[in-house]
Amino acid sequence: MKRIGIIGAAGYTGEELLKILSKHNGVQVAFATSERRGGVGVAQLFPHLPMYNDLKLCTADEALGRDVELVFTCLHAGESVKWAKKFLDRGVRVIDLGSDFRFKTPAAYDEWYNMRHPHPELLCDAVYGLTEWYRDDVREAKVVGNPGCYPTSVLLPLLPFLRAGLVADAPIIVDAKSGVSGAGKKPGETTHFVSVNENLSPYKVGRVHRHVGEMEKEMRAFGGGMNIVFSPHLTPLTRGMLSTIYFQLAGQKSRDELFAVVDDAYANEPFVHILRDRLPNMKMAQNSNFCFIGLVKPAGVNQVILFSAIDNLGKGASAQAVQNMNCMLGFEETKGLL
Amino acid sequence: MKRIGIIGAAGYTGEELLKILSKHNGVQVAFATSERRGGVGVAQLFPHLPMYNDLKLCTADEALGRDVELVFTCLHAGESVKWAKKFLDRGVRVIDLGSDFRFKTPAAYDEWYNMRHPHPELLCDAVYGLTEWYRDDVREAKVVGNPGCYPTSVLLPLLPFLRAGLVADAPIIVDAKSGVSGAGKKPGETTHFVSVNENLSPYKVGRVHRHVGEMEKEMRAFGGGMNIVFSPHLTPLTRGMLSTIYFQLAGQKSRDELFAVVDDAYANEPFVHILRDRLPNMKMAQNSNFCFIGLVKPAGVNQVILFSAIDNLGKGASAQAVQNMNCMLGFEETKGLL
Amino acid sequence: MKRIGIIGAAGYTGEELLKILSKHNGVQVAFATSERRGGVGVAQLFPHLPMYNDLKLCTADEALGRDVELVFTCLHAGESVKWAKKFLDRGVRVIDLGSDFRFKTPAAYDEWYNMRHPHPELLCDAVYGLTEWYRDDVREAKVVGNPGCYPTSVLLPLLPFLRAGLVADAPIIVDAKSGVSGAGKKPGETTHFVSVNENLSPYKVGRVHRHVGEMEKEMRAFGGGMNIVFSPHLTPLTRGMLSTIYFQLAGQKSRDELFAVVDDAYANEPFVHILRDRLPNMKMAQNSNFCFIGLVKPAGVNQVILFSAIDNLGKGASAQAVQNMNCMLGFEETKGLL
Amino acid sequence: MKRIGIIGAAGYTGEELLKILSKHNGVQVAFATSERRGGVGVAQLFPHLPMYNDLKLCTADEALGRDVELVFTCLHAGESVKWAKKFLDRGVRVIDLGSDFRFKTPAAYDEWYNMRHPHPELLCDAVYGLTEWYRDDVREAKVVGNPGCYPTSVLLPLLPFLRAGLVADAPIIVDAKSGVSGAGKKPGETTHFVSVNENLSPYKVGRVHRHVGEMEKEMRAFGGGMNIVFSPHLTPLTRGMLSTIYFQLAGQKSRDELFAVVDDAYANEPFVHILRDRLPNMKMAQNSNFCFIGLVKPAGVNQVILFSAIDNLGKGASAQAVQNMNCMLGFEETKGLL
């Protein structure tokens, strides 16, 4: 039984980690922190998790001294890294579900997050936790930057085509739809039920959302120098993400040849499923670590449309984080996730 | 008080017509038909419309003889035209909310609807009822083909740019999201609450949806020879439509110059509103005949993103039909709609 | 054209008043106030109300001097009355959609609202605006306390039976379900989309909700001395209210005799509809001033179940307020509401 | 590894069984039947269950000969028993998620289901599978009638009070709210998204719903001779059930004494949780086998209000069925369920 900790357990990703880990029989949650709710029982805050009957939330400071092998940090940009640093200094490995370890260079972080990275020296050792593409590095990593939800949903279908040189040098259109839990737990006008219900709203459209930088960084790593045009939309549901991706094909490929590209990339992957006879939808992926990928090649244009469905809190956050933890701690990669 | 009739009043567009017309003090609903519900009171079928206390549904056959000036046909492809023909022969004007009068040529209809048009001789006189662009013709028309919901939401923002020659010769991406009422009232697996709720699903993607033909026909009329790549998505809400449209810009234009194009086109239009400081969302347009248009020009790419929000049953169907009726019968165009 | 004003126009009831009044051709909105949004255009804040293109929100202080016949106050308990007082002093009539004029005595107000009424001297002249039961008084009233949403939905079906002496002396169970707009526009944990969606929650159960006092006060006025046991539930939808009311029957009555009681009470009422062959549901009443009433007399017990459906922002707030305004200003009672 | 089978796997309860059992490492699904989908892969029908990659749906006839220890029957009233009989004759134990084994006597079944029970001789040996109250009998049972969702949500909170003699001899009011999955997978007007969304509807109100018979049968077994007045409501969400139960207290008891009654009954139960400081809501129980119970004793009346929240497909159907399976096959009762 390996001991792990969660920094920032009262938010949606922390809650989801607690839920997933309660069914993982190889680890034990040694602590779960919340600055505002220190002293409150986890099962009191989350009645649906009565199995944590004996665990009380504590502050991150109180947690520092406890003996754990790995810590999940689930805080905002600039906050996660502060606690990550302290645990790394104590020899504890870190998976950050925030956004502080997703870039390799401080310059990129500064540009997209509009602040100085507090510990730029940590970035060079950080591994980008898109497990299917970096699992060898993840296994050895001291610190993993768990990918953002949109980048996960876009990179998984897109990278095989970039790697194969099949994407023409033209802007890639990403029209993405997310459930509201992706906007976080803090109440505000945009997440009020009445604002979201019976509504659907684009936001941060173009090349301004922070995830554009994260996606393009990975695209570059696989030979893709083109830009992304990104339109995220807030949709009236709690959990789910569907990305519709349009790219211009380089050269000529049949539908079967295109499917072969993703089939080959993910043939042995337990969490990535290619759909041939139907298109993905959000519901397929809900409450799971799955990513479902679909592909359409319309007649009369040399374009490809990719579809991918994930759960923004699952493969898009906490479940992928557990997948990474399994790699790091030597468990079977699917443990607790199937 | 002018007398009008509704053929196919038990479906969503018929119900919405009844609702709108109940607040229109220039017309009186002389009949409303339903083959399955003949004899049932309108107020019994629709308790929220008690003002139709004295009106009973009848069959279309029973309605034929009644004295009206104009009839709305709200039936499936191939069905509307049969009744339209009979009323036209009696000198009654027709607005078809089905899809039988949206094409000018029988060949186009046959191609996209995969059947022979029952009365091709009627097509040459039919007027396409996108009111803002064809109102002079609508005024005189004997028969109006009320536009489809997706085409309305796409053409209103796009036509000004096509007319101005600002759209490059490359596929236009239309990523559209619709509420479930657009799928009609007939129960089926895809419209079961459990299938739709907490879900979001693409369907008929690429160049296969019938509305692609309708949109491209109008694009051609305004100088646009390029193809549309169209991805409609079913979204978990009842009424609303948001279309996100990506096109490559021909030449160089600033954001202000682009806004000027739509501002000029719709400056005096009571139902089309250009938003500068925020993006449209579905809720703005609900239960109205409004279309809200937004525009983003992302940095670093020569692309334009257009957004448009309508109510699929409002401007996308019954409200636009009433707008057309107002033109045809000589009422102020906004009557009953503001 | 009579001039009216709205104090507190940025909340849900204010917004709904603006929407209803935009279709009422007998009045003109001379001002609409918001302390936080003074100077902002109404059409800018509410894009779906472009007809208010020329109206800017102002502060209540700025509004005081303007010439109006009637003012709607839409503020929290203790706030409405302050502005009501100022307008009453200027000879302007007031309809309060807050809760400051629903009780006849300061003691009752103090008990249920847990504060001293700022102007108890105004209470004796206030009329309770349940229009169907008090319209003669409303016509002459200087100030009307518009009923709460729950009381409206409970009193309309219940009062006829109390008046007829058909309710036994035992607790009346009211199990009520409300849409989220009833909780107001202020963001908070309980109205966050993720908290409400796919959920249904009882709150303030028993005899603690403020509306219990309001309901019992009216019951007493019609001969009902029994207590209410009240369970409100928050439901995952925006607008709507359904109250299920269980009372023990005094004496023996058949189903037909029971229906006759409500039929008689509301035979000539344009907004109250008795359903015989089906039960009310929330959707029937949405976006209207209607109240739908149903009744079940189960076999084997001497109990009656009443159902009533209203829109909590319609008959439960702003539409009923306009109904009261019509009475006060001498318009036809249904004007702008059908 | 014990082998089990599922008759009727394409419906909601069958799908949920497949999902739960995929995480239960003590059993293997040997077959899953569907008359309409024989030959289709389970993972093809349910993309979210890719772990059943090797299992194809077969017809019940084809399944009959296969070697299993236990079969779940998930068919309509009158259908389940036919297959149950065949498997019982082969020595296979049966858990029926339909409604054919919930009554002890054919007469009761005939009365509430309005048909002759096809195999009345099987009823005397059937055990009612409300696990917390009948687990000793369940362990030995040949056939278990898995309780209905409403009865589960009502009996769990109510039985402790009946057993203790604390319920006065007066009608018990049960106002229950259910998610739409409880209405089954067959498409129809009442389950169309547009009918349910933004709506809330009472149905089968009074003493007519079949579950009234099931509830009263169990109440009688624990000393409760009073009648139930039952109002089920359809609510706009997929999974969840909240029952609000009002009964008159026999004698005088404090809040603490009332809590002690349920605390004592469920102190050692892993799936039943008593909430003291807050009320249950649907979300707590979603996707679990939990039942959350709350209690309010209003001032001034001698009434008690009980609240219970379950997942209608979880504790209300498939999860409770697995709990019963665990008892029957000698597994720990929580296996696969926590």
List, by residue number, the catalytic residues of B: 149
A65 interface with C at CB cutoff 8 Å: no
CA atoms of D228 and D170, how far apart (whole Å): 9
Task: Give residue C263's pLDDT band: very low, low, confident or very high (50, 70, 90).
Answer: very high
In angstroms and rounded to an integer, the radius of gyration of the C-alpha atoms of chain B is 20
CA atoms of D203 and D188, how far apart (whole Å): 15
Q: Which of C178, C193, C196, C199 to mutate to test the interface with A (most CBs of A within 10 A)?
A: C193
Active-site residue, from D58, D149, D291, D327:
D149
Residue D251 is predicted with a pLDDT of 94
Q: Which of D234, D301, D304 to mutate to test the interface with C (most CBs of C within 10 A)?
A: D301
CA atoms of B46 and B32, how far apart (whole Å): 13
C199·D283 Cβ contact <8 A: yes
Of C12, C187, C236, the CB nearest to A188: C187
CB D309 within 8 A of CB D241: yes
D30-85 pLDDT per residue, tens: 999 999 999 999 999 999 999 999 999 999 999 998 999 999 999 999 999 999 99
D287 interface with A at CB cutoff 8 Å: yes
Count CB neighbours of A194 within 10 A: 24
Of D171, D244, D297, the CB nearest to C301: D171
Residue C198 with chain A: CB contacts under 8 Å: 238
Residue D193 with chain B: CB contacts under 8 Å: 180, 191-193, 195-197, 236, 238
pLDDT along chain A (338 residues), means of 10: 97 98 97 96 96 96 96 97 98 98 95 95 96 98 98 98 98 98 96 98 98 98 96 98 98 97 98 97 98 97 98 98 98 97
Count CB neighbours of D16 within 10 A: 24
CA atoms of C113 and C116, how far apart (whole Å): 8
C292·B22 Cβ contact <8 A: no
CA atoms of B317 and B150, how far apart (whole Å): 10
Interface of D with C in 241-260 (CB under 8 A): 242, 244, 246
CB D307 within 8 A of CB D242: yes
CB D99 within 8 A of CB D32: no
D119-146 pLDDT per residue, tens: 999 999 999 999 999 999 999 999 999 9
Task: Give residue C198's pLDDT band: very low, low, confident or very high (50, 70, 90).
Answer: very high
Q: Which helix (H) or strand (E) holds D201?
A: strand D201-202
CA atoms of A221 and A155, how far apart (whole Å): 11
C173·D177 Cβ contact <8 A: no
Subunits adjacent to chain A (3 or more Cβ pairs under 8 Å):
B, C, D
Task: Give residue C110's pLDDT band: very low, low, confident or very high (50, 70, 90).
Answer: very high
Q: A131, A144, A133, A157: which is closest to A294 by C-alpha?
A: A157
Q: Over chain C, what is the mean pLDDT?
A: 97
Please give the average per-residue pLDDT across B246-266, as a whole number: 98
CB A146 within 8 A of CB A163: no
B273·C50 Cβ contact <8 A: yes
Give Dmax (Cα) for chain D.
Answer: 63
Strands (E), chain C: 2-7, 27-32, 70-73, 93-96, 127-128, 143-145, 172-178, 201-202, 228-234, 241-248, 272-274, 291-296, 303-310
Residue B16 is predicted with a pLDDT of 98
Subunits adjacent to chain D (3 or more Cβ pairs under 8 Å):
A, B, C
Structural domain spans, chain A: 2-147+316-329, 149-312
B312 interface with A at CB cutoff 8 Å: no
Task: Give residue B10's pLDDT band: very low, low, confident or very high (50, 70, 90).
Answer: very high
CA atoms of D111 and A43, how far apart (whole Å): 44
Task: Give residue C230's pLDDT band: very low, low, confident or very high (50, 70, 90).
Answer: very high
Question: What is the least distance, in Å, from the CA of A185 to any CA of chain B?
Answer: 18
Residue B269 is predicted with a pLDDT of 98
Q: Which of A48, A198, A315, A332 to mutate to test the interface with D (most CBs of D within 10 A)?
A: A48
A283·B236 Cβ contact <8 A: no
Residue B230 is predicted with a pLDDT of 98
Task: Locate all alpha helices (DSSP H) within D68-209, ordered by sequence.
Answer: 80-89, 106-113, 131-140, 149-163, 193-196
Q: D237, D231, D258, D90: which is closest to D158 by C-alpha?
A: D258
Give Dmax (Cα) for chain B.
Answer: 63
Assigned superfamily of D2-147+316-329:
NAD(P)-binding Rossmann-like Domain (3.40.50.720)
Angstrom CA distances, A176 to A162, A218, B104, B229, C51, stand at: 19, 18, 36, 16, 33
Q: Which two tokens stand for residue B109?
A: 């209809």
Of A23, A50, A273, the CB nearest to D47: A273
Q: A119, A83, A118: which is closest to A7 by C-alpha?
A: A83
Residue B192 DSSP one-character state: B
Same CATH topology for B2-147+316-329 and B149-312: the answer is no
CA atoms of B69 and B57, how far apart (whole Å): 19
Task: Give residue B264's pLDDT band: very low, low, confident or very high (50, 70, 90).
Answer: very high
Q: A299, A308, A313: which is closest to A185 by C-alpha?
A: A313
CB C104 within 8 A of CB C217: yes
Q: Which residue of C has its CA nearest to B286?
A: C48
Residue C300 is predicted with a pLDDT of 94
Residue A191 with chain C: CB contacts under 8 Å: 187, 192-194
Question: What is the least distance, in Å, from the CA of C280 to any CA of chain B?
Answer: 9
Please give the average per-residue pLDDT across C274-295, as a whole number: 97
Residue C44 is predicted with a pLDDT of 95
B175·A199 Cβ contact <8 A: no
Angle formed at CA A171 by CA B301 and CA B309, multiple of 5 degrees? 80
Domain boundaries C149-312, CATH class: alpha beta
C240·D303 Cβ contact <8 A: no
Block residue for tokens 């093809």: D44
A207 interface with B at CB cutoff 8 Å: yes
Of A229, A236, A296, the CB nearest to B206: A296
**Percentage above 90 pLDDT, chain B:** 100
What pairs with residue B31 in β-bridges? B5
D151-192 pLDDT per residue, tens: 999 999 999 999 999 999 999 999 999 999 999 999 999 999
What pairs with residue B242 in β-bridges? B177, B309
B236 interface with D at CB cutoff 8 Å: yes
C275 interface with B at CB cutoff 8 Å: yes
CB B214 within 8 A of CB B147: yes
Of B48, B288, B290, the CB nearest to C290: B48
Q: Over chain B, what is the mean pLDDT?
A: 97
D59 interface with A at CB cutoff 8 Å: no
Residue D107 is predicted with a pLDDT of 95
Q: Which residue of B has its CA nearest to C290?
A: B48
Residue B194 with chain C: CB contacts under 8 Å: none
Residue C277 with chain B: CB contacts under 8 Å: 44
Q: Which residue of D has its CA nearest to C234?
A: D281
Helices (H) and strands (E) in chain D, counts: 12, 13
Q: B7, B16, B8: which is closest to B314 by C-alpha?
A: B16
Q: D13, D101, D6: which is closest to D319 by C-alpha?
A: D13
Residue A164 is predicted with a pLDDT of 97
Residue B208 is predicted with a pLDDT of 96
A124 interface with C at CB cutoff 8 Å: no
D195-253 pLDDT per residue, tens: 999 999 999 999 999 999 999 999 999 999 999 999 999 999 999 999 999 999 999 99
CA atoms of A25 and A336, how far apart (whole Å): 7
D48·A285 Cβ contact <8 A: yes
B48·C275 Cβ contact <8 A: no
C235 interface with A at CB cutoff 8 Å: no
Q: Which residues contact D56 (CB under 8 A, 6 or more apart)?
A: D39, D40, D41, D42
Q: Which helix (H) or strand (E) holds D94?
A: strand D93-96
CA atoms of A40 and A58, how far apart (whole Å): 8
Please give the average per-residue pLDDT across B196-224, as a whole number: 97
